[in-house]
């Protein structure tokens, strides 16, 4: 049987709804170093900021839409994972900025990972290659 061609060809963006767009954009920009690439207001009135990590094609769509009600993120429901080049430098920077590490750093065979919390309670996983400091 011939293999069917894939229905999709790329992951374009991930949407996260938040209560405070400016606070969340500041976190991803100032703490993690993402770039804000554009802002729009949707036809229904959602305020949306699109952000991207250097070297990534996938965008993070951060949306504020109070009419949908208050955002309450259940624990351990979803997280975003970002590659970092150096876990030592990453942890040092987070400490200087007052961002607590909520889990880790944990070493695996090929990587080192740690978790932090973004505004609204979304979890962020930071992953460094195993040959990174802390190896």
Residuewise pLDDT in 10s, the chain (135 residues): 667 778 888 889 999 999 999 999 999 999 999 999 999 999 999 999 999 999 899 999 999 999 999 999 888 888 999 999 999 999 999 999 999 999 999 999 999 999 999 988 899 999 998 875 554
Looking at the structure, tell me whether residues 79 and 129 fall in a common domain: yes
What are the C-alpha distances in Å from 95 to residues 39, 112, 135?
Answer: 30, 17, 19
Looking at the structure, tell me whether residues 53 and 14 fall in a common domain: yes
Q: Which domain holds residue 21?
A: 10-66
Asked whether 87 and 101 are in contact (CB, 8 A), the reply is no
Q: Which CATH number does the domain housing residue 91 bear?
A: 3.10.180.10
CA-nearest of 78, 86, 82, 84 to 121 is 78
In a domain, 93, yes or no: yes
Question: What pLDDT was estimated at residue 9?
Answer: 87
What pTM does this model have?
Answer: 0.87
Looking at the structure, tell me whether residues 47 and 100 fall in a common domain: no
Dihedral sign of CA atoms 16, 119, 18, 36 in order: negative
Question: What pLDDT was estimated at residue 1?
Answer: 61
Question: What pLDDT was estimated at residue 133?
Answer: 56
In a domain, 1, yes or no: no
């Amino acid at each position: 049987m011939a293999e069917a061609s894939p229905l999709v060809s790329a992951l374009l963006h991930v949407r996260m709804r938040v209560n405070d767009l400016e606070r969340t954009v500041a976190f991803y920009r100032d703490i993690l170093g993402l770039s804000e690439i554009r802002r729009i207001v949707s036809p229904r009135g959602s305020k949306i900021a699109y952000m991207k990590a250097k070297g990534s094609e996938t965008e993070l769509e951060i949306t504020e839409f109070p009419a949908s009600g208050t955002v309450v993120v259940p624990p351990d429901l979803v997280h975003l994972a970002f590659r970092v080049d150096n876990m030592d430098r990453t942890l040092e920077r987070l400490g200087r900025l007052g961002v607590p590490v909520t889990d880790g750093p944990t070493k695996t065979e090929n990587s080192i990972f740690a978790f932090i919390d973004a505004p609204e309670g979304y979890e962020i996983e930071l992953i460094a290659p195993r040959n990174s400091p802390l190896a």
